[in-house]
Amino acid sequence: MAVKGKGLKLDDKGLVAAIVQDANTNQVLMLGYMNKESAELTLKTGTVWFYSRSRQELWNKGATSGNMLKVKELWLDCDNDAVLVKAEPAGPTCHTGEVSCFFEPLTAEHVAATEG
Amino acid sequence: MAVKGKGLKLDDKGLVAAIVQDANTNQVLMLGYMNKESAELTLKTGTVWFYSRSRQELWNKGATSGNMLKVKELWLDCDNDAVLVKAEPAGPTCHTGEVSCFFEPLTAEHVAATEG
């Protein structure tokens, strides 16, 4: 099968950003990063795999907590450097127990206190 | 006002990933990157500002095409290193004319042809 456009375009760390959206509610659940191998594993297994930048290892999201993400749709953006995963979560996606990692309003105080 | 948790946490390039979602339809429209100044401008102006990694400059999304993004909600993730913008788009967000930059299904062929 022909590929429309080019292949997945990795950054200088070998990663693409991957947005996870609930396939049923359309709530945005989290943002992670995939390397080539985690994208392959996500396609092959039908569950979401990331590459953890802090732990520097492949990470099958939810494998420890049981809150796996079942892939329903995978989309690539027009620059080929970002992925949108529409998935069914088995439970809360955030490690805090919240449904989504985006549970805190961004304020001017956060921006004023920017680090790094 | 007290900040819950820490400030915005920039990566080694001084950026955070910013997901844009249509506030009305919940469709994910694009992924961009913000530096501290673009986050400040987004909060201040109520329109979305990014930092363009390729052009290395601040970028008021839609200023050229007229398809501005009007900010309705801003959310920070649990790691303080990703932002979710819920916005009302004035027109198609993608430079191709598509509503969303995520209009192409990701396939094994894209992953096999990975670059970079």
* ipTM of the complex model: 0.95
Of A2, A3, A17, the CB nearest to B31: A17
- CB B78, CB A98: distance < 8 Å: yes
B11 known ligand binder: no
In order of A96, A97, A115, B27, B55, the CA distances from A92 in angstroms are 9, 6, 28, 21, 38
Interface test with A, best of B26, B49, B102 (most A CBs within 10 A): B102
pTM over 0.90: yes
Cα separation, B15 vs A114, in Å, equals 10
B12 known ligand binder: no
The answer to whether B82 contacts chain A (CB < 8 Å) is yes
Could you give all domains of chain B from N- to C-terminal order, each with its CATH number? 16-95 (3.10.20.810)
Contacts of A30 in chain B (CB under 8 A): 77
Kindly state the tokens that stand for B2: 């007290």
Cα separation, A113 vs A40, in Å, equals 38
The answer to whether A84 contacts chain B (CB < 8 Å) is yes
SS (H, E, C) chain B: CCCCCCCCECCCCCCEEEEEEECCCCCEEEEEEECHHHHHHHHHHCECEEEECCCCEEEECCCCCCCCEEEEEEEECCCCCEEEEEEEECCCCCCCCCCCCCCEECCHHHHHCCEC
Q: Which of residues 2-61 of B touch A (CB under 8 A)?
A: 2-12, 14, 17, 19, 21, 26-28, 30-31, 36, 39-40, 43
pLDDT in tens, B36-75: 999 999 999 999 999 999 899 999 999 999 999 999 999 9
Kindly state the tokens that stand for B101: 């930059």
β-partners of residue B98 are none
pLDDT in tens, B6-46: 899 999 999 999 999 999 999 999 999 999 999 999 999 99
Q: Which residues of chain A have pLDDT under 70?
A: 1-5
